[in-house]
Amino acid sequence: MSLQPTPWIWYDGELVAWEEARVHVFAHALHYGSSVFEGLRAYATPRGPAVLGLTPHVQRLFASCKIYRMPIPYSAEEICQAIQETIRANELESCYIRPLVFRGMGILSLDPRAFPVQVVIGAVPFGKYLGNEDQGIDVGVSSWQRIAPNTLPAMAKIGGLYVNSQLVTMEARDRGFAEAIVLNTAGYVSEGSGENLFLVKDGALYTPPLAASILGGITRAFVIQLARDLGYPVREEMIAREMLYLADEAFFTGTAAEITPIRSIDHIPVGEGACGPMTTHLMEQFFGIARGEMEDRFGWLTPVAP
């Protein structure tokens, strides 16, 4: 999906024009991947735009920066307000929001702590990331592995980590798949290139735990909360690769992916090769809440004040 420019970007405390939001070519983040980011969605609702999971996303942004030892020069409340300000300034009803914290220009050094920390927030129109809500996608198991424990922090959303995801995605596309499933270094199922994974087997919902080198997804947490509320058993446990081929249903979750059904894995149909009943039920409930068509019984939405 091509990026559609919007008029304004929040840059270090003020709104600047899109074309003026510039970074120096010697910014540390450009050379060494020293950035932390988030991805959020705002949905159009009958009462105006509302951000899904604003507080937990901003909390995770601060948690990632803490792990990476990169202090954000703003409070969490200021970042929440800046996100809403950016949506309002660009007059968007629904959009994808990208807060980015990065190290700016200084000397060339692998100790980034002397470099200035900068913050930008952009908001752009954004449609469906993978497939559509009615049809599933075809995926394959990647030859690339998810990062090993104690090499890089899998629980942090650090820009440099996504080189791994880029390699996974390019390989998947070259093989004719829409996306890939990545195994961890022990051979257990981890996640997609940028999504968490769920399987349905015998009426229960399975997903890998944090120990499987996954990112603790906000949408993942919402789906677990929703599934338990609907009475579905949820099991966070290590998943063997072969269970991918025996699952009754499978789907990805993520801010961009939302809930995306998977219809085949390594050319083997998942269940009946179509979106299954539990996935359909969870999607109906998730999108119903996100779009303001159902009661926000979990407090997921933050309306963007006019």
Active site positions, annotated: 157
Q: Inter-axis angle of helices 218-229 and 54-68, to 10 degrees?
A: 130
Contact call for residues 189 and 210 (beta carbons, < 8 A): no
Determine the longest span between alpha carbons in the chain, in angstroms.
57
Residue keyed to tokens 């807060």: 99
Structure tokens that stand for 55 in this block: 């507080």
Residue keyed to tokens 């202090």: 71
**Type of residue at 155:** M
Structure tokens that stand for 221 in this block: 């947490």
Beta strands in the chain (DSSP E): 8-11, 14-17, 35-37, 40-45, 48-52, 95-103, 117-124, 137-145, 179-183, 189-192, 196-201, 204-207, 234-236, 249-254, 258-265, 268-269, 301-303
SS3 97: strand
